[in-house]
Amino acid sequence: MYARTLYIFILGVLLMACGRQEETTSQTAAACLEDAEAALANDSIRLGETLLRKAIQLAEESQDWHTNYIAYQRLAQALSQSNPEKALQLMRKSLAIYEQHPDDEHNYVILLDYAGTYAAQVAFTTDGSYDEALDYTRRAYDIAATLLPPSGGDRERGFDLMCQTLTSLANIAWAKEDYRQALDYAHQAESVATTDLRPGILQVLARSYLSLNMLDSAEIAYRQIEAGNDVHMAYIVKSNLARIALRRMGATQLEDSVAEAFGQIEDFYYKALEQKDEYYQETLRQEMENQQLEYLSQIYGRTLLIVIIAAIIVIFVAVIALRYRIRMLRQQREYEQSKLENELLMQEQEKRQLLQEAEHQRILLHQANEVVSFLQNFILERTEVMKKLNKGGDSFIYLSPNEWSEIERTLNAIDNNRFANIREQYPNMQEDDIRLCLLTRLGISNRAIGNIYCISISAVQHRKLKLKKDVFGESNPDITLEHILTK
């Protein structure tokens, strides 16, 4: 009878321990919003949208209005590319919530600016009116101007808000094809732009110059953009520089072909982002499985502790408790060994996935470089000077100063100002040496170069060797002048 009472006591303790594990943890709207932003930062758009909708629901239930309108704004931002009309509806809802429960006017400027941007996107895609977009954005600019303090740490933040709203006004004016007005707004934004916002301002400025066919100004603006590790920004700069070079040559049809080619590269870029999204979702699933395993491990640990306590209380059943403990320890070791093997296997899988993704990115970059190289060679082959050089044969070839300038300008445009840099680094180089470098970079044969300078092939080779040693200081016979100019 006494033993039965002890067994009932032990069973009750075990049931209480198991019941403790069924406690659920509540998640706040702010925490859900942080998880959504982390997912969006890792380009996991679908997971981010799901978490944002959950954050909105939790914020409305808890009346957390700050998190509520921020979540609406983030969700609109996530949907802006695929569905600008839905994004505009969400921003209207966000503004309505803020205006009923205002807190920080800096946030109000940001909400109005986003609403104006999405309204402009809708007007651009539907050929509608830009009145709503202008109303939101001008209100944002007026508030930002009033929030600018005379001095202090918040002054930089005020400049950021003014810069953003002026940039939005420039984009709206450009969409309305009022390029002069867009250029004026862009210049105002540039005057107050901080380092982080400067690339975006320069992009709007260059686009306005290009729309006004001010090719030199557009090229200067694009070359001032420092893309850094931003692959998409680098693509925008390279593609537009190629368009500028083609427009100078009057190759309108070829310019359309270039736009199509770079459009394909952009498709490759977004496909890579989708693959990254899928990889992030798979990683998240594995993390959830790991959390579940850890949860089970905690259950086993608490159960083992309770069994040990019960064994101490019930001394006369020590043999039974000891056998139970040995069995649980064996199971625990097997579980930990299995868990360790699973973790090693998952780490190996993650490593393979990362290597595959890196290889895929390398292939995409190689394809993009091949397209750029093809376009550069395509541009060179269709210049009048190259046609003249290729048709020269064995006869004397004369190039006028304008033609020499055209060769150098074209190479600088497609080759990152290579010869402009050479002139800067070697200011004492003779003009004939510069021209010999230009012909060598174009891949012109020594025979054709001899026809231009009226000298023999051996004399051409001697001049190249002398230029390599005397100017560039290279005495290695395995390194040619062509190699030096390619670096």
Read off the pLDDT band of 228 (50, 70, 90). Answer: confident
Q: From residue 51, how far is each of 36, 44, 213, 366 by CA, in Å?
A: 5, 11, 45, 36
pTM over 0.75: no
The mean-pLDDT minimum among 358-367, 407-416, 451-460 falls in: 358-367
Predicted confidence at residue 391, as pLDDT, reads 64
pLDDT band at 257 (very low <50, low <70, confident <90, very high): low
pLDDT of 187 > 60? The answer is yes
Q: What is the pLDDT of residue 26?
A: 46
pLDDT band at 2 (very low <50, low <70, confident <90, very high): very low
Determine the pLDDT at residue 432.
Answer: 86
What pLDDT score does 120 carry? Answer: 92
Cα–Cα dist 161/25, whole Å? 39
- 169, 148 Cβ separation under 8 angstroms: no
pLDDT of residue 25: 35
What integer best gives the mean pLDDT of the chain?
A: 80
Q: Quick check: 122 pLDDT over 70?
A: yes
Residue 24 has pLDDT above 50, yes or no: no
Task: Measure the CA–CA gap between 37 and 71, rounded to whole angstroms.
Answer: 9
Q: What is the pLDDT of residue 117?
A: 92
Residue that is written with structure tokens 């060797």 in the block: 465
Residue 115: pLDDT band (50, 70, 90) is: very high
Q: What is the pLDDT of residues 244-253, one digit of tens each?
A: 888 888 766 5
Q: Hey, what domains does the chain have and what are their CATH numbers?
A: 29-213 (1.25.40.10), 384-486 (no CATH)
The burial class, CB within 10 Å (0-12 / 13-18 / 19+), for 228 is: exposed
355-390 pLDDT, tens per residue? 888 888 877 776 655 655 555 555 665 566 777 776
CB-count burial class (<10 Å; 0-12, 13-18, 19+) for 407: buried
pLDDT for res 155: 67
- How many helices and strands, by DSSP H and E, does the chain display? 21, 0
Structure confidence at residue 261 (pLDDT):
54
Residue where the block lists tokens 């020594």: 446
Q: Which helix (H) or strand (E) holds 381?
A: helix 318-381
Q: Which pLDDT belongs to residue 20?
A: 44
Confidence grade of residue 92 (pLDDT, cut at 50, 70, 90): very high
Q: Distance of CA 465 to CAs 97, 230, 459, Å? A: 75, 41, 10
Q: Which residues contact 269 (CB under 8 A, 6 or more apart)?
A: 231, 232, 235, 364
Question: What is d(CA 71, CA 31) in angstroms, rounded to the nearest whole number?
Answer: 11
Q: Give the highest mean pLDDT range of 276-285, 355-364, 417-426.
A: 417-426
Residue with the bigger pLDDT between 273 and 408: it is 408
The most confident of the ranges 19-33, 77-91, 154-168 is 77-91
Per-residue pLDDT at 23 exceeds 50: no
